[in-house]
Amino acid sequence: MYKLINSHGRQSEFIYFAEIIQDWGRLLDHWLSQKNWKMAIDVLSRQSNVDLYYKSAATLIDYCPTETVNLWMKQSNINPKNLIPALLRYNLSKGSNLHEQNESLRYLQYVTISQKNTDPFIHNFLLGLYVQHARIDSEKSLLTFLNSQVIYGV
């Protein structure tokens, strides 16, 4: 059916059909290929397949970091460890631009504080981000994090 619709250049019918049958993967691929990040985020927000979150993580955090992290924070069944490659890539691309709000830092703070995640891999990555940002910001957030780790025994 998709081939038939596409062969006639009927993009709006393609989108309509995919939405009707809830083919979220195909819709997500479509919006990502069109570089329409907001629509891709909209598609993700209407479904709960975490594999689609992981699949699109690296692209969406690069182009819409705040909206992407907000979406991740709403999805309780995401395993943050599966987002680490996207978060690493995002941080590498931000490199010298440390004065901006770091969405990786915000997401990992949420995961460790609000969701009480105790995975050492997540905590080590968060510690690395704190150290990286302590050079620019005050060291207060780094010291607070280290104190919380001693208190909670993580």
Whole-number pLDDT of residue 96: 45
Q: How many other CB atoms sit within 10 Å of the CB of residue 44?
A: 27
pLDDT of residue 151: 47
Each residue's pLDDT tens digit, 102-130: 899 999 999 999 999 999 999 999 988 88
Delimit the domains of the chain by residue range: 1-47, 65-154
Residue spans of the chain under pLDDT 50? 96, 99, 151
Name residues whose C-beta falls within 8 Å of residue 74's C-beta, 6 or more positions apart in sequence: 45
Predicted pLDDT at 137? 52
Predicted pLDDT at 33? 93
Separation between Cα atoms, residue 109 and residue 149, nearest integer Å: 13
**pTM of this prediction?**
0.80
Distance CA 58, CA 11 (A): 26
In degrees, rounded to 5, the angle at the alpha carbon of residue 78 between the alpha carbons of residues 72 and 79 is: 125
Burial 59-77 (b: 16+ CB within 10 A, else e): bbbeebbebbbbbbeeeee
Judge contact between 71 and 45, C-beta under 8 A. yes
Alpha-carbon distances, residue 50 vs 16, 64, 144 (angstroms)? 23, 18, 32
Six-digit token string for 66 = 């705040």
Which pLDDT belongs to residue 2?
65
Nearest 10 degrees: CA dihedral of 75, 81, 82, 88? 110
pLDDT for the residue 4: 62
